[in-house]
Structure 1
């Protein structure tokens, strides 16, 4: 297991990490309920416009949420397995 102060999120302020976690969890809920769109188009006076966002998967979002939780010291930690003889 990585120490809490290492990894790609090291050095980020705790408030920023918490804000990112909240946003990621909200996105997870919206994606799970089918509320997240990835491509939009509309018509303006001078023509048609479209915007496309890169789709993400529930698995990628779950991994990101778990990474943020580890950086914040949250989430479940597994105890080390020890064998008795």
Structure 2
């Protein structure tokens, strides 16, 4: 049974939830605009190195943002109404 009072963010302070929401929204913006790179290369005295990061799944990130907004009371679930 779903109870809105108990969720993944139960016990987390409002300030922490707000910080996470801000960080998630910034990450979404950087990924959406291409500002966040995926592969980086650099050279040092002993040779060259490269690091590759995987791109986050935008749909999962959007779901996380929605869950944070819901936990902060910024978003409400629409009522489910049967259609006959």
Is the shorter-chain TM-score for this pair beyond 0.5, marking a shared fold? yes
Higher relative contact order (CA closer than 8 Å, sequence separation 6+)? 1
Number of positions where the alignment pairs a residue of Structure 1 with one of Structure 2: 82
Partner of 2:67: 67
Counterparts of 1:70-81 in structure 2, within 5 Å, are 70-81=70-81
**Moved beyond 3 Å, runs of 4+:** none
TM-aligned CA distance change 1:30 to 1:10, over 3 Å: same
- Give the superposition deviation at 1:16: 0.8
Gaps of 5+ in 2: none
- Give the superposition deviation at 1:50: 2.0
- Give the superposition deviation at 1:59: 0.5
Gaps of 5+ in 1: none
